[in-house]
Structure 1
């Protein structure tokens, strides 16, 4: 069991180095590599290894916190998709932008790191796309009117800018969520009856642990506001094309 945790720690260390030196293509391969490693481990686990988990790979929880007084919808799409694909559960902390991941040490380590990585990736892509959006003729004209004292243009400029950013991030989050869920369904479809049974037993144990730690968790409804369809589609496109699956992730030169 320690072997898979060692592999994950090496992957994470390598991904951080790649991100620091600006090797985006290699860093983007990280999510796919981690997901594949966890799936292979789960699907090949024996009954003996499963029973030994409580000692060698216990269930625990870990927070992933970002600035803000609540977690926006796009980040919840990411956290729930990642948690599910990494065989974890995730819970929101009230009045904080905190997602608490619950799962085995190996799974939780992967989920938290993947979440932090994809949040950073989404924000970086959003900045680039927002810059492109502000350079379009319609926005340039709006900005010019705002600078010349038009209060209506100033308000409209701020509204469209906020909507584009929020919609881009929501589009990105929903696309990543769908990709992760699709990949998980494929993996589960290829699992043996024994492996699938062990995964279900582990899921029950994780939920029991979460209930003991946090009690009953109530879901929340996210209200939809003014949305930029252009921003949403741009974010969605990036969510579908960001390299969760790459030649590097598959170990191909």
Structure 2
């Protein structure tokens, strides 16, 4: 009897392996067709599977194959948020969910301390089944649910297999080293950024401009004071300088990708970071010191919300023309251009003020004969120059070959000027910026 049982088990395993291999071959060879067609072909193949044991074996094999593909994707530079973004750009919720489940399962095989904390933050933001609007997959038919889930897993698997190599940022899962206990100033950074996030959320959530300005001004003051304090400490104690610059990816989503990228570029420039756009993948890489990068993320998210809200309000007032693609693209480009000017002007003013405080608040805080131009004192200026050089060198390490791009040509001058006007009304606080740079 034992031999019969073993033979039966082997038969199920062999049949499942053959079925999965046939589906994979068909999906790989037919990639480029609409995902719905691949899913339909897979579902038709699975309709012949009536044995629950065979269904279970197929599910296990597909999950294992997806995990292997995801492991390979890590070594090619992809992170959880990158994979989710790639799936969402081309596919529907079912495939995004299948991939998210696979990512969680793959990362669960590592000790938590051996995976960078930022990866876990990305995993926490991945979608889960209950969050998907509408009908759940096959909720009224378990067999149908299995077929749809298997088809989605198969599509996610082939998608991940076909992703190209991109720049590897940070340590791969399993290779992250235990961080030293957080220093006092790191703990201050985390507490301050948490306060800033809350203030920005309140600024974006209120319909009253005066309230939004007050919330944003409070956030700006916190970050500006923090930046000045860090500048003072670093100029006197190089040991407190941030670790070497590194990089983070930020999604630049459709539609109007070019104006959104221009906005991000302007924010990076004002905060002494650099940006590299990978348009086909739907993200940009921001290179800079950690506190600078976190400031860029916060400011980009907040200003994108403000720009979109301003564009929608303008649409309600301006009628049909404001709903055209040309108007909206030009509006966002105008907003980004003017915001960039405001941010850079504010950056120069804040640095001059910080230099004066470092020098004790006297005229020695600026270069002799240059007070009216607000040039920082040599101590702070050298700190800033060293950091700029370090960011530039790190960018070259990560991206040895780069091509410069220009913002899209304005197709609707009225929309561009209305975007500039909206940028002048944007909530940046009294000094014109929420800035988390640790100069």
| Residue aligning to 1:226 | 411
Instruction: Output aligned runs, 1:73-222, within 5 Å.
Output: 74-134=259-319, 139=320, 161-188=324-351, 189=374, 191-222=376-407
Greater length-normalized contact order (CA 8 Å, ≥ 6 residues apart): 1
Among 224, 237, 240, the alignment partner of 1:36 is 224
Structure 2 residues not aligned, in runs of 5+: 1-184, 352-373, 435-439
**Alpha-carbon shift at residue 75 of structure 1 (Å):** 2.1
Q: Deviations over 1:10-32 (max 9, x none)?
A: 21233224534655334543674
**Alpha-carbon shift at residue 125 of structure 1 (Å):** 0.8
| Residue aligning to 1:10 | 195
**Alpha-carbon shift at residue 49 of structure 1 (Å):** 3.6
Instruction: Count residues with an aligned counterpart.
Output: 223
TM-score, normalized by length of structure 2? Answer: 0.45
| Residue aligning to 2:247 | 61
Larger displacement relative to structure 2 (95-104 or 28-37)? 28-37
Larger displacement relative to structure 2 (21-30 or 74-83)? 21-30
**Alpha-carbon shift at residue 77 of structure 1 (Å):** 3.1
Q: Contact 1:11/1:34 (CA < 8 Å) preserved in 2?
A: yes
Q: Contact 2:268/2:275 (CA < 8 Å) preserved in 1?
A: yes
**Alpha-carbon shift at residue 69 of structure 1 (Å):** 8.1
| Residue aligning to 2:423 | 239
> Cα 1:118–1:15, aligned 2, differ >3 Å: closer, same or farther?
same
Instruction: Output aligned runs, 1:46-57, within 5 Å.
Output: 46-47=234-235, 49-54=237-242, 57=243
Q: Contact 1:69/1:95 (CA < 8 Å) preserved in 2?
A: no
Larger displacement relative to structure 2 (214-223 or 171-180)? 214-223
> Cα 1:5–1:37, aligned 2, differ >3 Å: closer, same or farther?
farther
**SS of corresponding position for 1:217:** coil
**Aligned-partner Cα distance in 2 for 1:5–1:209:** 24
Structure 1 residues not aligned, in runs of 5+: 140-156
**Aligned-partner Cα distance in 1 for 2:190–2:375:** 24
**SS of corresponding position for 2:248:** strand
Find out whether 1:45 has 2:229 as its counterpart: no
Q: Contact 1:69/1:96 (CA < 8 Å) preserved in 2?
A: no
**Aligned-partner Cα distance in 2 for 1:66–1:239:** 19
**Aligned-partner Cα distance in 2 for 1:80–1:38:** 23
TM-score, normalized by length of structure 1? Answer: 0.75
**Alpha-carbon shift at residue 112 of structure 1 (Å):** 0.9
Q: Deviations over 1:83-138 (max 9, x none)?
A: 1222222221131442221122211111111111111111111011012111xxxx
**Aligned-partner Cα distance in 2 for 1:132–1:67:** 26
Q: Contact 1:70/1:98 (CA < 8 Å) preserved in 2?
A: no
